[in-house]
């Protein structure tokens, strides 16, 4: 798989997840503010809007990565021929490191 393709899929999915992640983190931060002694300062969600935004993005990207991995896993599970081809390539293939992105090819 092309790394740029995977990265784009993760970014697209993260954008869709961000509103949900933000809502969840707002609820958690509100609960933390009500009981500040129940959590350490290091574990507390930040009050600074920029730092909080970074936490939202981080959570959205983590969830997006998991979803993309699950999508690929489901796709491969439904396509035994692809798995067979990948196993063969693992045994007999190589990557052309000079290409950008590196391209797979059969050893000659």
Task: Say how far apart CA 67 and CA 73 lie, in whole Å.
Answer: 10
Contact 96, 82 (CB under 8 A): no
| Full pLDDT tens readout for the chain, 108 residues | 677 888 999 999 999 999 999 999 999 999 999 998 888 888 999 999 999 999 999 999 999 999 999 998 888 887 888 888 878 877 877 766 666 666 666 666
For 30-48, what is each residue's pLDDT tens digit? 999 999 888 888 899 999 9
For 49, the token pair is 């809007």
**Domain edges within the chain:** 3-65, 78-108
């Amino acid at each position: 798989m092309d790394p740029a393709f995977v990265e784009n899929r993760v970014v697209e999915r993260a954008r869709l997840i961000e509103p949900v992640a933000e809502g969840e983190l707002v609820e958690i931060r509100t609960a933390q503010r009500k009981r500040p002694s129940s959590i350490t300062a290091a574990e507390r969600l930040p009050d600074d809007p920029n730092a909080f935004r970074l936490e939202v993005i981080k959570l959205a990207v983590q969830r997006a990565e998991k979803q993309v991995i699950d999508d690929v896993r489901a796709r491969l599970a439904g396509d035994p021929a692809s798995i067979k081809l990948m196993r063969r390539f693992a045994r007999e293939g190589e990557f052309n490191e000079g290409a950008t992105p590196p391209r797979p090819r059969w050893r000659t």
